[in-house]
């Protein structure tokens, strides 16, 4: 019989965006293996979706709030977990500082969701969501004289849920072809580059539709850009979508576009893969962890709308590639990224500590 662990899964500081969903997905994965999960977060995350979970909240003023660390220590003495998963540098620091008050030493495992990892190298082990994150941790540890060889580590991706029905792969596109982007509407996600690319395609005589799913501080600016370029008839802002609206989004689009300029592991790519959609993305280092250009998708130069337009045009004009990329990417989701595969990897790693 597999041993059942009591696991604290935590994030302190702002966890809006993919970090929160990744933590919740990890909780689901570990519970599927019979472990007991306690989700812990800071007060500023109360506004986020709890997904029906009970969450323990701790207020804190920063990385070195020792009063908060003391309260956490007293709570740990009561709960007595086997392991702590920390999805932020602040969580690593507060839990490690809690251990300074004595008592049972509980391993703290860091999961970095950014490339700024220096605050997490105090952790007792690491789950790296990409190989590049592992490289960042190794470099930061070396600078601080920390020997990583004595700390358990594993590269385990964020997971993706498969749709209920297997995608139907087709080399035919809608007329006009429909592009889709699902993202937070903030500058570094590159939605403005995609709008510019749609304008460039139009100049080339290639009309497309673009569906933009998401909300964010740049929404009004993006809508003004759309109007200024005369693209209001081609571009539709859907707002935040989920449930049936998300299913319809992926049924409606032909190509998913992810022009990110700063990310760690763009979950939008894995999501599109799972729905059987070919992806055109930037060549940011985070994208390079998932896409192999010309094999399971296409990459354009990061921050370059002309390059993005060229890659989209190539895919539209080469329907045989269109189908091939989608099929290859979906098979990789089945082999590497789907819920059951990641759950098994997480389970194996944590039981080895």
Q: Is cis: bond before 176, omega within 30 of 0?
A: yes
| CA atoms of 84 and 9, how far apart (whole Å) | 6
Q: What domains appear along the chain, each with residue ranges and CATH number?
A: 6-159+338-352 (3.40.50.2000), 178-336 (3.40.50.2000)
Q: What is the pLDDT of residues 120-140, one digit of tens each?
A: 999 999 999 999 999 999 999
Rounded to whole angstroms, how far apart are CA atoms 8 and 26? 11
How long is the chain? 353
Residue 45: per-residue pLDDT: 87
Which residue, 254, 245, 229, is CA-closest to 305?
229
Which residue, among 165, 173, 178, 169, has the nearest Cα to 327 in the 3D structure?
A: 169
In the prediction, which pLDDT does 248 show? 97
Q: Looking at residue 215, what is its pLDDT?
A: 94
DSSP string, 225-274: HHHHTT-TTTEEEEES--THHHHHHHHH-SEEEE--SS-SS-HHHHHHHH
Residues 21-46 have a mean pLDDT of 95
Look at residue 44 in the predicted model and tell me its pLDDT: 84
For tokens 């500058």, the residue is: 187
**Chain centroid to CA 11:** 15
Q: Report residue 153's pLDDT band, with 50, 70 and 90 as the boundaries.
A: very high
Measured CA to CA, the distance from residue 128 to residue 139 in angstroms comes to 14
Cα distance between residue 171 and residue 212, in whole Å: 23
Query: pTM value?
Result: 0.94
- Reading the block at residue 81, the tokens are 């977990």
Q: Which of 44-58, 192-206, 326-340 has the lowest mean pLDDT?
A: 44-58
Please write the tens of the pLDDT for every residue from 296-312: 999 999 999 999 999 99
pLDDT band with cut points at 50, 70 and 90 for residue 18: confident
Q: How far apart are the first and last CA of the chain?
A: 18
pLDDT in tens, 84-129: 999 999 999 999 999 999 888 999 999 999 999 999 999 999 999 9
Cα-based torsion angle of the residue sequence 22, 25, 29, 31 in order, rounded to the nearest 10 degrees: 120
| pLDDT higher than threshold 80 for residue 17 | no
pLDDT of 15 reads 82
Enumerate the β-bridge partners of residue 298: 280
What is the average pLDDT score of the chain? 95
47 or 275: whose pLDDT is higher?
Answer: 275
pLDDT of residue 49: 80
Read off φ and ψ for residue 86, nearest 5 degrees: -120, 115
pLDDT at 181: 98
* Cβ(249)–Cβ(213) below 8 Å: yes
Tell which residue, 45, 39, 40, 51, has the closest CA to residue 13. Answer: 45
Which stretches of the chain are DSSP H helices?
18-31, 66-79, 89-99, 131-143, 191-203, 219-228, 244-252, 267-274, 285-288, 305-317, 319-332, 339-352
pLDDT per position as a tens digit, 262-297: 999 999 999 999 999 999 999 999 999 999 999 999
Position 319 pLDDT exceeds 90: no
Question: In whole angstroms, what is the distance from residue 353 CA to residue 348 CA?
Answer: 9
Q: Which two tokens stand for residue 64?
A: 């070195």
Structure confidence at residue 223 (pLDDT)? 98
d(CA 240, CA 184): 9
């Amino acid at each position: 019989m597999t041993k059942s662990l009591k696991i604290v899964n935590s994030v302190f500081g702002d966890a809006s965006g993919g970090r929160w969903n990744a933590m919740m997905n990890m909780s689901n994965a570990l519970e599927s293996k019979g472990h007991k999960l306690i989700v812990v977060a800071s007060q500023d995350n109360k506004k986020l979706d709890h997904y029906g979970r009970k969450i323990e909240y701790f207020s804190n003023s920063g990385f070195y709030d020792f009063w908060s660390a003391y309260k956490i220590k007293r709570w740990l003495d009561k709960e007595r977990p086997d392991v702590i998963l920390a999805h932020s540098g602040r969580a690593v620091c507060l839990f490690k500082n809690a251990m300074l008050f004595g008592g049972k030493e509980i391993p703290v495992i860091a999961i970095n969701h950014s490339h700024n990892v220096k605050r997490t190298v105090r952790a007792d082990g690491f789950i790296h969501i990409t190989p590049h994150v592992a490289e960042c941790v190794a470099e930061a540890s070396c600078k601080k004289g920390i020997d990583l060889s004595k700390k358990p580590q594993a590269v385990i991706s964020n997971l993706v849920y498969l749709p209920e029905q297997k995608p139907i792969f087709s080399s035919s596109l809608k007329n006009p072809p429909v592009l889709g982007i699902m993202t937070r509407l903030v500058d570094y996600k590159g939605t403005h580059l995609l709008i510019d690319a749609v304008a460039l395609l139009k100049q080339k005589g290639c009309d497309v539709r673009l569906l933009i799913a998401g909300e964010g501080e740049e929404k009004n600016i993006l809508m003004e850009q759309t109007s200024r370029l005369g693209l209001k008839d081609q571009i539709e802002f859907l707002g935040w979508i989920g449930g049936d609206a998300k299913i319809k989004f992926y049924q409606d689009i032909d190509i998913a576009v992810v022009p990110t300029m700063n990310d760690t592991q763009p979950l939008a790519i894995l999501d599109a893969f799972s729905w059987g959609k070919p992806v055109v993305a930037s060549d940011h280092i985070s994208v390079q962890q998932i896409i192999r250009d010309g094999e399971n998708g296409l990459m354009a130069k990061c921050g370059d709308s002309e390059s993005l337009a060229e890659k989209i045009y190539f895919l539209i004009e080469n329907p045989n590639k269109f189908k091939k990329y989608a099929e290859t990417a979906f098979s990789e989701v089945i082999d590497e990224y789907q819920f059951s595969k990641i759950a098994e990897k997480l389970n194996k790693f944590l039981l080895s500590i």
